[in-house]
Structure formats: structure tokens, C-alpha cells
Structure 1
Amino acid sequence: MFLILTLALLPLGLLALIASLQAIRTADLEKEALLRVAVTQSARKLTADLQSDRTALQLTVDNLASNGGDRSICERLSLFLASNDAEGGQFYIYDRAGRRLCETGMREPAQLSLTNRFDGPPIELLANAPYLVSRVNSADERITALIYYSREHLENVADPATALQNRKLTLRQGDRLFAISHIRKDPPGGKSSSLSARLDPYDIELTMTVREPPATVARLLSLFLPLVMWFAAAAIGWFVVNRVLIRPLVILRRAVAAYHPGEVLEPLQRMRTPAQEIVDLGETFREISEDVATHEAEMAEGLETQRKLTREVHHRVKNNLQIIASLINLHARSAHEPEAVEAYASIQRRVDALSVVHRNHFAELEENRGVGIRPLISELSASLRGTAPAAARRFAIQIDSDNLHISQDVAVPIAFLLTELVELAMMLDPQGSMHIAAHMLQDQKGRALLSVTSSGLRTSEAMTAHLSERYGRVLTGLSRQLRSALDHDGDDGRYTIAITIIP
């Protein structure tokens, strides 16, 4: 999300940066143009001032050369120069003999030789003194006039009208330099810009240098302000989206992921400044969780009621079977013929077998694990021995079983199957014994092998007769109900059948 916001605002940041750079470039061009105007203006002012003074000097030396002794012209020249120069203008007029015809009354700044007074360029920068000398000779070359311009006077004349700060004016003539003004506060660092203008018709250039202030933190910040604003906008956008949208959604997702049926979600308690849509979504989850909790409570109550009803049904069935077994036992006691007594006993054994199944199922009903094979066989064996004929009172039953569980649909036919086989073995070999084993099959998941071994179950004529009369059809029907083949090994007297168990 932060990257998306950043990329979305990046074009605006780049446009603002380009605009800022363009504004800086425009400002630089304006400064350059202003500098060009300023140096041109200063050069013109300085040229005009020099030319005006030279015209006055030319008139003075020509007048002195023609009239000789007219000293009033010197006074007029002094007044004229004083009007332009606060120092009164330092001028000196000499003839070829070296005599000083006029002067300002002040000491000459530089003592020039006689040759240098008459010869030399019209405007000259002195090498050994900070002055600019303007030289004018009379028409007949007999008289020369010199005027010395100080740095203060030149700076006042060349001062531009534009308000340029940190400027420096320099006069150059060949390899000679004369700084007529200095940068009042020369800042460290920064770059400088210089432009020059010629003092026509003289071979002197006026150079103006402007030094820009160094790149301070404030200037750099103003330069990169668009990028700073772009990053700040992205960061603020991310913060707002994170606090209003993303973080509440994360909290809501965690609350929903940690939800357990029956709880009531309250995700809004841990949310700060979520969006209204997320508040509505949290309220929806809370309402749904309340409905689910209500339905869970109703289902739990209904399940508990159903469990109680099931327990009551099994309990009543078990009691009814016990009542039936007791009635059969009462009728058996009143019977006098051995066949009738044996018939009642056979019926009672099967009723007891069904009662044992219901009793074991009722005991395992709380944990819902099904019917345990070991306790089922043990209780069933005890019941069968208790109802055994008098000749088979000492019939022994050995049990070897794993801790296996089966459903009630499997337990009922197994109980009847064991009852039929035990009764058949007691009838054929009353003094014998029986071994009942139940072990899990390793190669078949969810299957176990039930085996019943007894000497009375070996192949014999009597056994064949009993199987053909009644037991064979019952055993076959029970194996079909278990959906598995019942195998008989006549030599060992063993019956085996594969049954389905609860994993």
C-alpha cells in the first residue's frame, strides 16, 4: 500500500521538482540579466563621468595654452570638478618645463616623471598607487592636465542603480587590476558570477562580480521541498490508511481467525480510529457470532436431550430384555421335560446376548467409542456359562482380544454368532473348552479377525447333523449380516470371520 501511494504521488513530486528546478534556472537567468544590465549601466556612468571631466580638462589646457596667464580658468575647473567629486577633484596641470600651472592644493598622489606626464594612454591605472589617472594634452602639446580618481569616487560613480548584494567592481587594463569596490560580506563557499563591460573608447574593462550565498540547509530544503512534500504526503497517506483501514482489517482478521464456535466476537474493542465500513463489518461479525453462539447453545441443549433420550431408550431396552429373560427363567423352572428346559435355556441365552450388547453400548455411550469387544466377549462368556446345561457347567472359555471397538450394528450379530458357536460346542463336547480371539488385521485398516476354536467344533457326524438342522442356516445368516465370509477349519475346530472395527 505504501509503495502504491508512493508511486501514485511520484509524478506529482517529479513535476513539482521540475518546476522548482525551472524556477531556480529562471531566477539564475534573471540574476544574469540583472548583472549584465548593472555592469553595462556602471560602465556607461563611469565612461560619461570620465568623458565629462576630460572635456573640462581639454577646455582648460587649451585656454591656458592660448592665453598663457589666465588663472581664473583653474578656479572654474576646480569648481566644476568639486561638483562631481566630494574630494574636490585632484587635478594638476603642467607645462613642458615641468612647471605646475594649476593644482587642487593637495599633494599629488603619485609623482610622475615629465615624460610620463605628457606620454601615455588617456586613461591609465597606476601600478604603484590606487588611483585612476586621466591625462589630457593641449592641442599644441605644450601643456598637460592630470586628474586622479580615488577608489571611493570611482565606486560612487560606478555604483549601479540595481540592488545587487555582495557585488565587487574591478577595473582592468592589461595586467593591471584596480578593485574599486569590495564584497562587503564575503560568505564562505558559494559560486560567483562575473560580467565585464568596456569603457569606450578606452582600453579599460569594468568587471562586476556577484557572489551567491552558499548552499545552506534552508536553500537545499527549499530545492528539494517538492521531494520532501512527496515523501511526507506518501508517509501521511500510509499512516492514515494504516490506522484507518489496514490495521483494523488485520485486527479483524486475527479475531475472526481465532474465533471458536460459541464465542461472541468483539473486535471493535481493540480497534482505534477504524473506517466506518470496517466498524459496520465488525458489527456484522459480532451479530453473526451471536447468532452462531445461540444456535450452538440450542444444538448443545438438543444434543444433550437426545443423549438423555438415547440413554433412556437403551436403559429401557436393557431392562425389558432382563424382564424377558427373568420370565423365560420362571417358565423354565416350571417345565419338567428336558427338551422344554433346554429350549427355554436356549432362548434365554440369546436374550441375554442381546441384553449384554445393550448394556455395553450403554456403558460406552458417554464417550461414543462404540462397544468394546473384550468386555462384550467377557460378559457374554460369563452369561453363557451361567445358563449352560448341567453337563457343561465346567466348560471353559478363554479370551484373547486386543483393545478394539465395534458399532452396535456389528456387536449384535457377533453376540448371536458367539452364542450359537458356544451352545453348539457345549452340546457336542460338554467337557471341552473354547478359545475366543480378536486381533487387528495389519494388512487391512479398520478390520479385525475374530476366531473361535473348540474341540467340539471339529467335523463330526453329530456336528454335521446339527448344522444341517438349525445352526448352519443361523451362522450363514449372521455372516451375511456381517458382510463377511465365515470360514470353518474342521480339523482344528476353528471358525474365523473378518469384522469391521472403529478406528
Structure 2
Amino acid sequence: MFLILTLALLPLGLIALVASLQAIRTADLEKEALLRVAVTQSARKLTADLQSDRTAIELTVNALANNVADPGMCRRLAFFLSSHDADGGRFYIYDRAGRIWCRSDAPEPAGIAAAARFDQKTVELAPASQYLVSRVRSLNGRMVALTYYSRTHLESIADPATALQNRQLVLRQGDRRIVVSRSGNAIVGHMSSLSARLDPPDVLLTMSVRDPPATVARMLSLFLPLVMWFAAAAIGWFVVNRLLIRPLVLLRRVVAAYQPGQVLESVGRVRTPAQEILALGETFRAISEDVATHEAEMAEGLENQRKLTREVHHRVKNNLQIIASLISLHARSAHEAEAIEAYASIQRRVDALSVVHRNHFAELEDNRGVGVRPLISELSASLRGTAPAQARRFAIQIECDNLHISQDVAVPIAFLVTELVELAMMLAPQGAMRIAVQQDEAEPHRAVLMIRSEGLIASDAMSALLEERYGRVLTGLSRQLRAPLTHDGETGSYSIAISVIA
């Protein structure tokens, strides 16, 4: 048996040797893949952070260039930039004459000459001062904003979530170079490097990782399978014959004597240090109890999941109600009619989403989806409650079959009804509206939503409102519902097919 085991394990030893070599190769490939993921992730995070700041700076620069900025705009920009930059978020806005219009408290670092402030480059490295400079020009070219990012801030943003030891991050732009790694020390020895482009693409982010040195332990790991081959053959003969085969024979006899409806005899008389064999015999006897226990645990887990889902919907509904209350409080402090109407418009849409969550939570236990009739009824009452003063008498008539829809359909329907009701109230505040939802007899899974009002009859005022705001929203909602939104200008009606739960 020893010779048989020796010859049988020889191919395994050779395979293990090849596998060790392959494992080392695989580890190197995994390290390279991990490095590629890390540098790509760092480049994306850094690009996203720069783009986010550029969006806020563009608003301020264009407002200053067009003389429409309010006194607190610079302060808000400084607060926005310093909120996530430990260095204080340094920015400076100049005009063509070199006058500074807006700036942070910290002095401007060296690196960008006055004559180069209006250059075309959106991002520029300043190795002398170890800053990355983001340049944003106004649309009319009158002003430019320079934002300076320190090496410490760049490191905190570009730090990848992947754990890589002895790494170094370097930003390159042509012959310019900034080291942004935590240690700042050069990597000694053989290293692996990969680069990823930022936006703009002329800036490269390079990540370098030092390769582990060749050690004695690593070399021994290559030949360890051959050493273990002979030991495995000797140990295997004893283990297989004395500790496995005989106890398994005894266990087979016990299992062979089992009759349906009986409990297996104890396998304690099987003498073996292999506790797995003893546990195997006990497992046959306890399997029925385990099945019952697992079923009880699954039922308990399902109940906990149901409670958790109920709690999530309840909290979402409460949060939406809090947001609506805050909007209402702000609306009371507004004095201009346009601002008050803007607050009311936002509140109507938050209320619409809150109504969807409340109705979805109500139907959650039966898993029937959201009821169309209570959804539209509650939504109509909410819209009338927040209607403008001139539209307080606006009437809404509802004709709806007993239908249910999913939450993915309920949300765009709620917003669609809100948009059309608000549009009708603006055009015909003393009018009325009829909302009907009827199931398609030919297709049980489809229904037709029809909204009709004299305020929706085609007119120049309606065309202007659709072109200015409502048309894009209605088009987007119809795409979410994956059905065309049809408008009959003569009767003032909108209709769209929706999916329902049969």
C-alpha cells in the first residue's frame, strides 16, 4: 500500500509544484489587477471631486461676470470648498484688469503668473508650490477663477479604498510632476506602476507599488510540495488503513441496520480519533431535528425582514413629511408671490412622493402593490390643499377601477398627475378636472389613465408653459412609464397606458 500511495501521490506532487508556480504567477496578476483597480478608482474620485468644485465655481464666476451675484455668494462658495478641504479651499477670482473680486482668506500660493491666469488649460500643476490649480473662466471671458488644491487634500481624495502597502501616487502633466503619496518617500527596489488619465486627459495619475523581495521562505515554497509528497505517502498509509477504513466499515454496518421510522444506534462503540466519523453518525440521527429548527429560523427571519421593510417605509414617509413641513415653514417667510409659488410647487411634488410611500406601505402586508384609487384620491386632496389662492375652488372628479400598481409605476403617475393638475390650475384656476383610470379589457395587465380639463385645451399660454418647463417633465415621465403620452388639444385631455398588477 505504501508503494501504491507513493506512486499515486507522485503526480499530485508534480501538480502541486506546478500549482505553486502558477499561484505565484496568479498572485502577481492579482496584484497588477488590484493596482489597476486602485489607480482607476483614485483617478475617478479625483476627477469627480474636481468636477464637483468646478460646477459650484462656474455658477459664482458667471454670476459675478454678469453682475447678478448676491453679496453672500462668495461666502457660500468659500464655505462649500472649505467643507471638504482641510487646507481651507483656496480660490481667487480675477477680472481681465487683474482685480480680485472674490477670494478665500488664505494667501494665494505661488505658481500661476498674472499673465497666465486666463490660459486655456483647465487644470495645471504647480510643482514649485506643490499645488494643483483648477482654472474656470466665465462664459463671456471677463473673469477667471483659480482654485488651489494642496498635496494633502489631493492625497485624501485620491486615496483608494483598496488596501495597498508601500504605494506612491504621482500626478504628471508633461514634464511637471507632483508626489501626492502619504509618505512622500521614493520607492526603493523593483516596483510596479500603472497610470490613469484624469479629466482633462493631459493629467496622468500614476500609482507605484514596491514588489516584495525574493526571500528564502518564498523559494522553499516552490519545493515544499515535493518534500510533502514522501511524507504524505507514509502518513496516508497509516491514516487510510488504520484510522479511516476500519471505522467507516463499522459505521456502514450501523447505517445498513437502519430501518425507516427508527433512530440510529449510537456509534460510540466505533473507536477512532476521527471525530468527523463519529459526528457523521450523530448527524443521521439529528437531521430531522435540524430541519425543523431551520424552518423555524427561516420563519423568524422572514418576520424580521417584514418588520424591517415596514420600518423603512415608515421612516421614509416621516422624512418626506418633515421635508414638506420645512418647505411650508420657509414658504411662510417668503414675501414675493413668485417665491411663494415656487415653494408650493416643490411642496406639491414632495407630497406626491409621500402619498406614494404611504399607500405602498398600506398595501405592503398583502403584497398587492399600490392601490390606484386611494393614491389618486389622497393625491388630489393634497393638491387642492396646496393650490394657489385663485384655484381654491378647483374641482377634481375621480373615476377609477379597483386596480393596483407597483411602486415603480406609482411614482411617475403621482408626478404626472401633479404636473398636469398644477398646469391646469395655472391656466384655468376656476375650472375643474376629471381623472379616470380604466382597465383595458383586451389586456388585463394594462390600464388607461386619462386626465381632462378645460385648462389643458391647446392655447398659446399652454404652449409657452410646456416649452418653458412642463413639456420636458411630462416627456421624461412618459419615458419612465414606457408609453406615449397623448394630448388632445381640442378636448383638453391627456391619456397614457400604464401597467397594473392583475
**Same-fold call, TM cutoff 0.5:** no
Larger radius of gyration: 1
